[in-house]
Every structure is written in structure tokens, then in C-alpha cells.
Amino acid sequence: MTSPAPVTEPRDTPRLEAAAVPALSIDGVSHSYGPRRALMDVSFNVQPASFTALLGLNGAGKSTLFSLITRLFGIQSGRVGIFGHDISKAPGEALRLLGVVFQPRTLDLDLSLTQNLLYHAALHGIGRREAAARSAELLGRIGLSERAGSKVRDLSGGQMRRLEIARALLHRPRLLLLDEPTVGLDVKARADIISHVRQLVTEQGIGVLWATHLFDEIMDGDDLVVLHQGKVLAQGPMSRVITEASAQDVNTAFMRLTGAQTMPGGGA
């Protein structure tokens, strides 16, 4: 009996090639509001299957950067790419791969959880049957299946955030942006959200950019971008950023890099 021919996996090659393309590339991006310069020559990458924390005080420029990546604002200078697609030249391809959770809540409080998801799916051109299946699956994953028909108004803050994350995943993006998603949540809800998003990275290979001013949301193994007054002061694996700042922890590294005395909102 002849031994079976080795199984070749043609899909391996594109997967490896895809891994070489950053999920997000920010290249020399600057932005001004009239005379006020909000971002100055900002460059960094987010890799697929990585958790990158964008750490900065209020006013650092995090929301401005998110507005540029999501095309709420036009790019004044520099380039933004999502899996190699330039968002100015190929916005359709780029935005198809992007999911976003903005800082302000954007759910319709008077619709049910399912209705919120179906409405969003329709905006992405997902057919009704497929949308219903994906919504049910995502509600299960965030532990809210039993609340599917409830009005969003009756959810807790943490449940609303989980629903917003589910909504951002409906069109199966490969890059997820979250702008300070735990603001205003209690300790348990914060922990749930963080662990859910970290699972998306490890189990589904999603690249995550997580804007925060809270040190305790960053872990060993994360990539870190320190943004201060519109400039990137440091970037790389968290351990390297700490070592290069001659610090013992991320808190001290941040203070040394920025000259800040304290981090508001429980960051320090």
C-alpha cells in the first residue's frame, strides 16, 4: 500500500503573506484644526492578531486619529492603510475590514438588541437571514441571548458596550478600533470587556487598537503607542518601551516620557 501523498495546504501561503501586511499602518499623519495642530507626523503599525494600546492623556489626539482612520475627517497629510488598502484611494476595501467602537454610545435605546444589530447589518448590505444568524451568534457570544428582544435602554452600561462590540463585529472585520471603551464602567464590566476583546485577538486573529488613558488595561505582550500632545513619543512591545524609558513599569515609563505628574481617571 502506498502512503498517502503529503497534504498541501494552498491556503497557507496567502495566510503567511497576509501576516506580513499590517492590519493598520499609520504613516506620517498630521492633522490641524485651523491653527491648532492635533497630530504631528504620527507613524505606527498594528499587526494582525495583536493588541495595541494607544496610551495618551485627554487631548493627546486619540479621537482625532480615530476620526481619520474611519474617514470622518479627510486626511490632510500622510497615509492610512488597512491591510494594505489606502483609505483615501480604496475606501471600500479598507472599511470593509474595519470595525469601530466609538467613545460616545451610538445605540438606538428604543430598539431591541436584535433590532440594533439587524439595522447595522443592513447598512453593511448583509442579507436578512444571514444578519439574523450572525446577530444570534454574536448575542450568544456576549452572553445576552436572553435579552435579545429587550430594549437597549434597559441594559447596564457594560452590557451596552458589549452590544456595541458585537455590532462592530457583524461584518466580520479583521481590525477593530475601540476609543476608550471602558470609560464610566464598573470594575467587573471593565474586566469583562477587556477579556472579551483579548479573546478576539487570540482566538480570531483580529488586530485591535485600544485607545486608553488607563495603565491597568495594558498587559505584558501588548504593543504600546504613547501619544502625547499629537506626537508619538514611544512605540513597540510594552516591555521594550518600559526598558527604553529606564523604568520599572508602564506608569513610570509614561511619566518619564511625557513629563506628566499624574494620570487622571485612575490611570496612575
Ligand X SMILES: Nc1ncnc2c1ncn2[C@@H]1O[C@H](COP(=O)(O)OP(=O)(O)OP(=O)(O)O)[C@@H](O)[C@H]1O
Q: Which is nearer to ligand X, 101 or 155 (CB)?
A: 101
Residue 258 Cβ, how far from ligand X at the closest point, in Å? 12
Residue 42 Cβ, how far from ligand X at the closest point, in Å? 11
Q: Which is nearer to ligand X, 58 or 76 (CB)?
A: 58
**Could you write out the three-class secondary structure of 103-142?**
CCCCCCCCCEHHHHHHHHHHHCCCCHHHHHHHHHHHHHHC
Q: Which is nearer to ligand X, 36 or 129 (CB)?
A: 36
Q: Tell me if 172 sits within 8 A of 121, measured CB to CB.
A: no
Among 29, 38, 97, 155, indicate the residue that binds ligand X (CB under 6 A): 38
Q: Which is nearer to ligand X, 73 or 119 (CB)?
A: 73
Among 25, 45, 50, 64, indicate the residue that binds ligand X (CB under 6 A): 64
Q: Which is nearer to ligand X, 70 or 112 (CB)?
A: 70
Any contact of residue 60 with ligand X (CB under 6 A)? yes
Contact window for ligand X (CB under 6 A) among 10-18, 51-59, 122-130, 254-262:
51-59
Q: Tell me if 106 sits within 8 A of 141, measured CB to CB.
A: no
What 3-state class would DSSP assign to 222? Answer: coil
77, 123, 146, 223 from 43: Cα distances, Å = 12, 31, 43, 14
Q: Tell me if 244 sits within 8 A of 235, measured CB to CB.
A: no
What 3-state class would DSSP assign to 232? Answer: strand
Any contact of residue 58 with ligand X (CB under 6 A)? yes
CA distance 99 to 177: 6
Residues binding ligand X (CB under 6 A): 33, 36, 38, 56, 58-64
